[in-house]
């Protein structure tokens, strides 16, 4: 299924609730973490949607992009409203995005940890891109959901080859990693986003490597050489997500305008490594 960066031709409008119902069939909001803020972040007065934009972060420039592409709805992975908003302040990037959505009458729907846990979600995408087999939940939450995945490479490789594979797969300029006593990688755990909380579980399940993001300095001591920790970056670990959401919606509503945002919202830059 091709996902176009440009407007996909459409022949009819959809009810806003039909779209959210379809998303919740895949990623029920009841499965999201308690701390999270998923589902409708803003519901405009427009009930009929003739086009939507799928993005990673619903920033101000993304809402502008949706307006330019005549989309009445934005489906984002990260919730732009997360810690609460007490006032609308033009100096704040969250306020500016919400105000623009209100001005343009564009609804915003976020998926985040509801999508992290389900089959075909964030960690499954990571496992698939790395070519893992015999994949199971790293932290099960029932029979059909859970955080992270753990599986096997088809054949064992050395740690340097694995790091090169990870770097290429996630298109990250640099990988931060821990020391590793064993040079053989076969069993691999993955978890999109901030995954420090699952280091102990990856160790308990005898993973050789763990691919995630947002690791802190002291996290790298925890494996004591028994696990190769790889921090590929928060955005990079989730980089396949918006394409998967767009593909799912296009398959559900084949004659509806599903647009993929062309804006890279990764807030982290990398100064060219190795240059003086």
- Please give the class, per CATH, of domain 14-31+39-110+240-260: alpha beta
DSSP 111-153: -THHHHHBTTSHHHHHHHHTT-EEEEEEEE-SSSBEEEEEEEE
Strand ranges for the chain from DSSP E? 14-15, 39-42, 48-49, 51-57, 73-78, 107-110, 133-140, 146-158, 176-177, 184-194, 209-213, 228-231, 257-260
Beta bridge partner(s), residue 258: 52
Taking the domains of the chain in order of start, what are their residue ranges? 14-31+39-110+240-260, 116-237
10, pLDDT greater than 50: no
Other beta carbons within 10 angstroms of residue 13's beta carbon come to 16
Residue 273 pLDDT level (bands cut at 50, 70, 90): low
% of residues, the chain, pLDDT over 90: 84
Encode 100-117: b = buried (16+ Cβ within 10 Å), e = exposed.
bbeebebbbbbbbbbbbb
β-sheet bridge partners, residue 195: none
What's the pLDDT score for residue 162?
97
Q: Does domain 116-237 have CATH number 3.40.1390.30?
A: yes
User: Could you tell me the two tokens for 146?
Assistant: 């859970």
Q: Phi, psi at residue 17, to the nearest 5°?
A: -70, -30
Q: Which residues of 218-227 are buried (b: 16+ CB within 10 A; e: fewer)?
A: ebbebbeebb
- Chain segment 220-239, per-residue pLDDT in tens: 999 999 999 999 999 999 99
Average pLDDT of span 254-261: 92
Reference 237, options 127, 75, 134; nearest CA is 127
**Which pLDDT tens digit goes with each residue over 154-191?**
999 999 999 999 999 999 999 999 999 888 999 999 99
Q: What is the pLDDT of residues 34-91, one digit of tens each?
A: 999 999 999 999 899 999 999 999 999 999 999 999 999 999 999 999 887 778 888 8
55 CB contacts (<8 Å, ≥6 apart)? 62, 65, 74, 75, 76, 77, 242, 261, 263, 265
Nearest to 28 by CA among 20, 36, 203, 58: 20
- Evaluate whether 14-31+39-110+240-260 and 116-237 have a shared fold: yes
Distance of alpha carbon 199 from its chain centroid, rounded? 19
Taking residue 199's Cβ as centre, other Cβ atoms within 10 Å add up to 22
């Amino acid at each position: 299924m091709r996902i176009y960066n440009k407007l996909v031709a459409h022949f009819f409008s959809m009810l806003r609730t039909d779209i959210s119902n379809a998303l919740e069939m895949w990623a029920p909001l009841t499965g999201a973490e308690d701390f999270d803020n998923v589902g409708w972040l803003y519901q405009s007065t427009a009930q009929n949607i003739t086009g939507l934009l799928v993005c990673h972060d619903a920033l101000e420039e993304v809402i502008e992009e949706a307006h330019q592409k005549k989309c009445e709805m934005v489906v984002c992975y990260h919730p732009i409203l997360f810690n609460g908003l007490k006032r609308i302040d033009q100096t704040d990037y969250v306020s500016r995005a919400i105000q623009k959505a209100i001005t343009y009458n564009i609804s915003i729907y976020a998926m985040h940890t509801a999508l992290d846990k389900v089959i075909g979600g964030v960690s499954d995408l990571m496992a698939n891109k790395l070519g893992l087999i015999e994949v199971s939940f790293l932290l099960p939450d029932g029979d059909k959901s859970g955080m992270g995945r753990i599986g096997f490479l088809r054949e064992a490789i050395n740690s340097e080859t694995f790091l090169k594979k990870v770097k290429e797969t996630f298109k990250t300029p640099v990988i931060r990693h821990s020391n590793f006593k064993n040079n053989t990688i076969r069993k691999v755990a993955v978890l999109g986003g901030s995954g420090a909380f699952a280091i102990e579980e990856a160790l308990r399940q005898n993973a050789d490597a763990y691919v995630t993001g947002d690791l802190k300095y002291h996290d790298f001591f925890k494996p004591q050489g028994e696990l190769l920790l790889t921090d590929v970056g928060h955005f990079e670990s989730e980089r396949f997500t918006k394409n998967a959401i767009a593909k799912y919606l296009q398959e559900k509503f084949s004659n509806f305008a599903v647009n993929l945002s062309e804006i890279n919202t990764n807030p982290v830059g990398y100064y060219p490594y190795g240059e003086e």
